[in-house]
Every structure is written in structure tokens, then in C-alpha cells.
Amino acid sequence: MSKLHFTTKHANEATVQRNWYVVDGTNQTVGRMCARIAAILRGKNKAYYTPHVDTGDYIIVINCEKIVLTGDKLDQKIYDHFTGYPGGRKEEVARNLIKRRPEVVIERAVKGMLPKNRLGRKMYKKLFVYVGDKHPHTAQLPKELNFNYKTSK
């Protein structure tokens, strides 16, 4: 009786094929949308996912100003930033931040869901968030990426 030897195939930079996707943020719940985006940036949607290799795809998010926060998060969620100086902690409510810089809400949510190391920083660079429905990546021929859930408002 012969023994069968199965070997696990690990992805590397030469074998990874990256695609470009466009996500429309209109009426999308922030947490649900960002969790799916983070998984695609990591490459977890691919059969050859390898944890120590960046196997993810590029994601373009348009209409980021039309995102939805559930419950009272619009008035209760606080985004803070520390400048590094004494008394330099700055706080801002989600409603004001979405008015001022809506792309930051999505960027911070996705960044928090990625690994906290140099691999995570490399994955984060493949995320592009834009206000409005125009983006400069039409030459990459991105595919539309739809999420099947809708908000209950």
C-alpha cells in the first residue's frame, strides 16, 4: 500500500492575482461594509489565502458621505485624536466628522480590522475612499462589488 502525500500550496507574490473592486457606500451600514472590505483586502475571499502573505484585492469606495450609522451612533460615537502635546486630545462626534471628512470614518473602521503589523499596513494601502461617485482608477477596470444586505430604515 502506497502512502499519499498531500502538500499545502502557499501563496507568494508571484502567484497572487489581484483584482480591483468598486463599492458604493450609499445606504451601507459602516461596520458591515467595512468588515467585508477588510476581509477582501486580506484576501480571505480567495482559495489560496495564506495568512503571512498579502493576497488581497484593491478596493475603491465611492459615495462615502452617504454611509449609515445605526442606532444613536451618529450623535454618540466619538472619534478622538491625540496631537502629542499636553492637552492635545481632540474629540469629534461622528455627525460632524461625516460632514467634514467622510472618508476618514471608513478608513479608520477598515484599518482597525486589519492586522497591526507591516503586513496590515501594506494591505491598508490598497484601500481608496472617495467622496462622490467619481474616482481616478477607471484604467484598472474595477468590477462592481455588491453586498446583499440593506439597512432597515
Residue 151 in any domain: the answer is no
pLDDT at residue number 107: 97
Question: Residue 29 sits in which domain range?
Answer: 20-68+94-144
Residue 127 in any domain: the answer is yes
pLDDT at residue number 152: 55
Which among 18, 40, 20, 51 has a CA at the least distance from the CA of 124?
A: 40
Report the domain count for the chain.
Answer: 1
10-residue mean pLDDT profile of the chain (153 residues): values are 77 93 96 96 94 96 96 96 96 97 97 97 98 96 85 54
Whole-structure pTM over 0.85, yes or no? yes
Residue 5: how many other CB atoms lie within 10 Å:
5
pLDDT at residue number 149: 63
Residue 121 in any domain: the answer is yes
CATH number of the domain at 108, please. 3.90.1180.10
